[in-house]
Amino acid sequence: YIQFIATIYQVPQAEVATRANELYNYFFEDSSLFDNKKPLKSFSTGMMKKVQIICSVIHKPAILLLDEP
């Protein structure tokens, strides 16, 4: 999913894995929780929110506005 979003934002393929790993390591303390083959619907609500934030910053936006849900 993160790779798909990065493609939409036109992030170069050579940088997608590097950026995704950096962001993943920032948001998730235990890297064993993440499995590329695990369906997103099996993630907890908190994990899904973290994935959504990773997707929103994968293209390094100049400005990021966050609002409370």
Q: What is the pLDDT of residue 21?
A: 84
Counting every residue written for the chain, the total comes to 69
Q: What is the pLDDT of residue 69?
A: 66
Q: Encode pLDDT of 8-53 as tens digits.
A: 999 998 898 888 888 888 887 765 555 566 788 888 898 888 888 8
* pTM value surpassing 0.85: no
Q: What is the pLDDT of residue 35?
A: 59
6 in Cβ contact with 28 (< 8 Å): no
16 in Cβ contact with 6 (< 8 Å): yes
What does pLDDT average to over the chain?
84
Spatial distance between the Cα atoms of 55 and 47, rounded to a whole number of angstroms: 12
Q: What is the pLDDT of residue 33?
A: 55
